[in-house]
Structure 1
Amino acid sequence: MAMNNATAVLEFLLIGISNYPEWRIPFFMLVLITYLGTLFGNGLIIILIHFDPHLHTPMYFFLSNLSFLDLCYGTVSMPQALLHCFSTHPYLSYPRCLTQMSVSFFLATAECLLLAVMAYDRVVAISNPLHYSMVMNGPVCVWLAATSWGASLVLTAMVTLSLHLHFCGTNVINHFVCEILSLLKLSCSDTSFNELMILITGIFTLMLPFGFILLSYVQIATVVLKIHSAQGMLKALSTCGSHLTVVTIFYGAAISTYMKPQYKSSPDLDKFISVFYGALTPMLNPLIYSLRNKDVKEAIIKVMVKRE
């Protein structure tokens, strides 16, 4: 990652919530509860899937990947937001800022691609149930998950290695974390190429996967409408409803931030939207995707019975 140090910008000041002092305590409590919920919910899902043989299926394999992603994604930013909440000088060093930005970008990209893979898994399960175990076998699942992680790494490297920013002495970032769009706004050099790279990356990580997911659900809806049994229809819808909820929340917030013209962006609005999909989504995923699931509930009961 190459950046020009001629202006000797060694650290950045993160404004965060400091321009809304009356909201510091409510914001701190919200982030703390959200982070603890993220740790507990996703950690529980990973443990249950690992130890319960009934959850050793492709859907739960991808779900364990998603939970691990959410654990990492929340840990990258939320502890720092808590530490800086009451700090009068919430500075972040130059190397830490760039590292945080790159890791967050990588994890968010991986989640976008993984949600598309999970949509494909649901399409196969509902459209071709008799051959589901053959199509979505172990090696295929591992390959799909590894491809999501690997493609995310490549796309992140394309964006971060293209950064050649110059800072003209200003080091104040109107955000809770070091975020790439905030850094571009802070730079006094020409950022048109970097904005183009973000747009291209956004097409591959947001628009194309989101379009694939929508087409997948069109196909799923076509199959579901042909099911004559009400019980079978409800079962098919229940396996997809949670995933569709997660997709709507995550993609909706991310697209509204990264795929709109930057001259129309509002720094204050953008940073609170980023909190929504960067903090709340990792906590909500296990709640709306798994803990309401019958199989997961049964696994929790089994664990509790064994402890007794």
Structure 2
Amino acid sequence: MAESNCTQATEFSLTEFTDNPVTQVTLFLMFLVTILGNLGMIALIRASPQLHSPMYYFLGNLAFVDLCSSTIITPKMLIDFISEKKGITYAGCVAQVFIFDLFGMTECFLLATMAYDRYMAICHPLVYPLVMSPKCCFQLVTGSYLVGLTNGMGQTIGMSNLSFCGSSVIDLFFCDISPLISLSTSDITLSHIILRTSASLFGVSSSLVVLVSYVAIISTILSISSAEGKRKAFSTCASHLTTVSIFYGTSLFMYLKPSSESSRKGDKWTAVFYTVVTPMLNPLIYSLRNKEVKEALRRLTKIK
């Protein structure tokens, strides 16, 4: 298609997620819980010396990532509930793509790092302090952010090379690279290849680390003689795996599904899970089911 007479879109229209007042209020409350939960987790970890360990170092970074990724998406969605014009400028769209892809991929690798940390702590406790040294923890977290930054820059550069001369209506409540590629009037073959390669290489590989780590953890738990110990360990692992499965499952479905699927009705609900639900669940799951966190909170608030 000739692009010489193309008038590049300067603004996109977003599709409202829902017009149901109950669902809208629920999403607003979920966002509030997300903000308070993640901010509270970061503050608690920083203020409690007993939580200055590798596991909580990773958890604090996960809370920061969830905070950043949710605040770039959810407030705009909530504002659009009460706005007649549900638009976003091209620059705003680019910013959403970059920041969301940066922190989204960072979360993938942080979850993999946290799974590996638990694997070392449970399966190899004697060498755990040596392997998970402060230097190693810093390198793992820095590497996660660098992979996220590479992904965010790559997707943003890819978007800047696309032309949008036709419809400017994004069939989603935020700017995501997948619907933007479908909306482009350019040749999108290479863009699809890059998107799926990135999702496969980074997303699938990090999810495999999580899967293998938890298989080894569960295998070790099965050797525990105490029935009560097994029950508590399995309960904790199940809650962690639930949030991880929601995040990886919905994300990989969104970016790896066949391009022949034209309907995006299911995409909106899928996107809600990894943009709203998971950032809310993470601090709740990792704190409410953790005795050390609850004890640190009691000490901090001086509740006996």
TM interval, short-chain normalised: over 0.9
TM-score, with length taken from structure 2 = 0.93
Question: Secondary structure of the equivalent of 2:173?
Answer: coil
The CA deviation string for residues 46-99 of structure 1, in whole angstroms up to 9 with x for no partner, is 111111111111111100000001111110011111111121111111101111
Aligned to 1:175: 172
Aligned to 2:158: 162
Aligned to 2:204: 207
1:58-97 equivalences in 2 (<5 Å): 58-97=54-93
Q: CA deviation at 1:264?
A: 2.2
Task: Please identify, of 264-273 and 126-135, the stretch whose mean Cα deviation from structure 2 is larger.
Answer: 264-273
Q: CA deviation at 1:34?
A: 1.1
> Is the 1:43–1:71 Cα contact (8 Å) retained in structure 2?
yes
> Is the 1:4–1:166 Cα contact (8 Å) retained in structure 2?
no
For the residues of structure 2 that align with 1:140 and 1:99, how far apart are their CA atoms? 31
Aligned to 2:7: 7
Change beyond 3 A, Cα 1:228–1:16: same
Q: CA deviation at 1:207?
A: 1.0
Question: Secondary structure of the equivalent of 2:260?
Answer: helix
> Is the 1:41–1:283 Cα contact (8 Å) retained in structure 2?
yes
Change beyond 3 A, Cα 1:4–1:287: farther
Change beyond 3 A, Cα 1:133–1:5: farther
Aligned residues: 301
- Given candidates 173, 181, 185, the residue that maps to 1:184 is 181
The CA deviation string for residues 72-130 of structure 1, in whole angstroms up to 9 with x for no partner, is 11100111111111211111111011111111111111101110011100110011112
Q: CA deviation at 1:43?
A: 0.9
> Is the 1:249–1:277 Cα contact (8 Å) retained in structure 2?
yes
> Is the 2:97–2:152 Cα contact (8 Å) retained in structure 1?
no
For the residues of structure 1 that align with 2:172 and 2:260, how far apart are their CA atoms? 17
1:1-308 equivalences in 2 (<5 Å): 6-17=6-17, 21=19, 23=20, 25-163=21-159, 164-234=161-231, 236-237=233-234, 240-264=237-261, 266-305=263-302
- Structure 2 unaligned spans of 5+: none
For the residues of structure 2 that align with 1:61 and 1:48, how far apart are their CA atoms? 11
* Counterpart residue type for residue 72 of structure 1: C
TM-score, with length taken from structure 1 = 0.92
Question: Secondary structure of the equivalent of 1:169?
Answer: coil
Question: Secondary structure of the equivalent of 1:13?
Answer: strand
The CA deviation string for residues 139-184 of structure 1, in whole angstroms up to 9 with x for no partner, is 1111100000011111222232233211223211111111111111
Q: CA deviation at 1:232?
A: 4.3
Question: Secondary structure of the equivalent of 2:288?
Answer: coil
